[in-house]
Amino acid sequence: MAVVSTPATLEQAPPVLDNAEVLRIRNDFPVLDQLVNGRPLVYLDSGATSQNPLSVIEAEQEFYEQRNAAVHRGAHHLAVEATEVFEDARQAVADFIGADYAETIWTSNATEGLNLVSYTLSTAALWAAQGRGDAALKELALRPGDEIVVTEMEHHANLIPWQELAFRAGATLRYIPIDDAGSLRMEEAAGIIGPRTRVLAFTHASNVLGTINPVRELVALARAAGALVVLDACQSAPHMPLNVKDLDVDFAVFSGHKMLAPTGIGVLYGKQELLDVLPPFLTGGSMITTVTMERAEYLPAPQRFEAGTQRISQAVALAAAVNYLTETGLDRIHRWEAELGERMVSGLESLPGIRVLGPAAGEERIGLAAFDVEGVHAHDVGQFLDSRGIAVRVGHHCAQPLHRRLGLTATTRASAYLYNTTDDVDRFLDAVSGVRAYFGA
């Protein structure tokens, strides 16, 4: 029997993460090596804020020790070096999401990025009315009668800015509803996204449900309507491969603190042709070409949207974070977290009095699970778990309309990352199994 060899040119799929490798990864995260209430810490709140590996901490520290200076503003040695590492960081993050260098804008977080897009779209109408900009800018201006479409599962950061844009522009805000399982009603989406739709904004993956939305189907509906697409990638960029060009979205946002980087740094991706015609968001130094006492002219992107002193050390640290994720392998991370998520959901569903939101066990989701414990408030559940060294999130997770739709005011959410093991999940499930008895529910 002939043996068929695999051609050397074919890439082999990298091995899936396992507990042994994850335990080695954990050594890079000093904060995880501690006791909480006398128990080893189980950190299951990465959906809110992830922890930082030593390489990220050291990258930011090294900047302050060796290169601290203002970027783009000095000819001296430190300023040149600071500018180089700052812009190298931009290129690293652009490569990470499949974007071009000039399409990658630094923000404080994803929320600022979404506000930037919504605000500049309303300013576009003002500029156009005063004869500023060109025909491309006029096409972006929203007017009374236009529609903005979001979904019923959005985080407040991807809902409120669009409410305010609709108010400023006299537009109408509409939303795609979800079903009881937490999936978008795509059969209704086709009737909601139509000729009046100017913007479609939606989350790639829900921070409550764990649902991964059908991006390509939604983009196709938006393209047929001639609408802009804004993607909230906060729960996808840290956990799975993301290529904004391949997805053909017009804008995308994510936050560094959810992907191993410090707080205070986020990213807005925007197509170059859109960024270069939109009015600026914040104004001041470093984003202008010419200034008189009457008016100013602005640089193209990315500097067009980066007024004032930037988040230099945080950007350098974010580049270190994306390098760490790339070296580990986003596909491997995604598959490991899917395994942990399945373990969480199936375990929770087996417990009496527990209602898990989102896709059922066996269905695709990201590595998180939000749940309701019958007869026990989410805050009490969170404190009970904390007493056993387990960190989770409680509340409405900045998604009040979604919780209201599901008949809840708050839930408990456990969210895993590349440094969590199956033992972490099992300790969590064992603790949850004792909640109702402890509270006499």
pLDDT tens digit string along 416-440? 999 999 999 999 999 999 999 999 9
- What's the CA gap between 227 and 153, in Å, rounded? 20
Q: Which of 42-46, 307-311, 316-320, 325-329 has the weakest average pLDDT?
A: 307-311
Neighbours of 150 (CB within 10 A): 23
Which two three-digit tokens encode residue 287?
């984003």
Mean pLDDT, to the nearest integer, of 233-248? 98
Residues 6+ apart with CB under 8 A from 3: none
Per-residue pLDDT at 116 exceeds 80: yes
Provide the percentage of residues in the chain whose pLDDT is more than 90: 92
Tell me what pLDDT residue 252 has: 98
Tell me what pLDDT residue 2 has: 35
Tell me what pLDDT residue 16 has: 83
Per-residue pLDDT at 4 exceeds 60: no
Mean pLDDT, to the nearest integer, of 22-48? 98
Q: Which of 123-137, 154-168, 239-253, 355-369 has the weakest average pLDDT?
A: 123-137
Which two three-digit tokens encode residue 174?
């509409």
- What's the CA gap between 415 and 438, in Å, rounded? 23
Per-residue pLDDT at 286 exceeds 50: yes
Q: What is the overall mean pLDDT for the chain? A: 95
Tell me what pLDDT residue 133 has: 82
- Assess whether 398 carries a catalytic annotation: yes
Active-site annotation holder among 398, 400, 405, 439: 398
Mean pLDDT, to the nearest integer, of 182-197? 97
Per-residue pLDDT at 3 exceeds 70: no
Provide the percentage of residues in the chain whose pLDDT is more than 70: 97
Q: Which residues pair with 15 in a beta bridge?
A: none
Per-residue pLDDT at 13 exceeds 70: no
Question: pLDDT band at 382, cuts 50/70/90?
Answer: very high
Neighbours of 141 (CB within 10 A): 19
Tell me what pLDDT residue 12 has: 62
Mean pLDDT, to the nearest integer, of 285-295? 94
Nearest to 373 by CA among 422, 423, 414, 417: 414
Q: Is 322 helix (H, G, I), strand (E, B) or coil?
A: helix
Q: Which of 46-60, 123-137, 208-222, 352-366 has the weakest average pLDDT?
A: 123-137
Tell me what pLDDT residue 247 has: 98
Per-residue pLDDT at 5 exceeds 60: no
Question: pLDDT band at 6, cuts 50/70/90?
Answer: very low
Helix (H) or strand (E) holding 82: helix 77-97
Per-residue pLDDT at 190 exceeds 70: yes
pTM over 0.75, yes/no: yes
Q: How many degrees, rounded to 5, is the angle at CA 187 between CA 356 and CA 359?
A: 15
Tell me what pLDDT residue 10 has: 41
CA atoms lying within 13 Å on the CB side of residue 395 = 8
Helix (H) or strand (E) holding 129: helix 110-129
Tell me what pLDDT residue 199 has: 98
User: Is 123:146 a contact under the CB 8 Å cutoff?
Assistant: no
Domains (range + CATH), the chain:
19-44+329-439 (3.90.1150.10), 61-327 (3.40.640.10)
Question: Distance of CA 372 to CAs 79, 343, 354, 413, Å?
Answer: 52, 17, 6, 9
Q: Is 67 helix (H, G, I), strand (E, B) or coil?
A: coil
Phi, psi of 122 (to 5 degrees): -75, -35
Mean pLDDT, to the nearest integer, of 403-407? 97
Mean pLDDT, to the nearest integer, of 366-381? 98
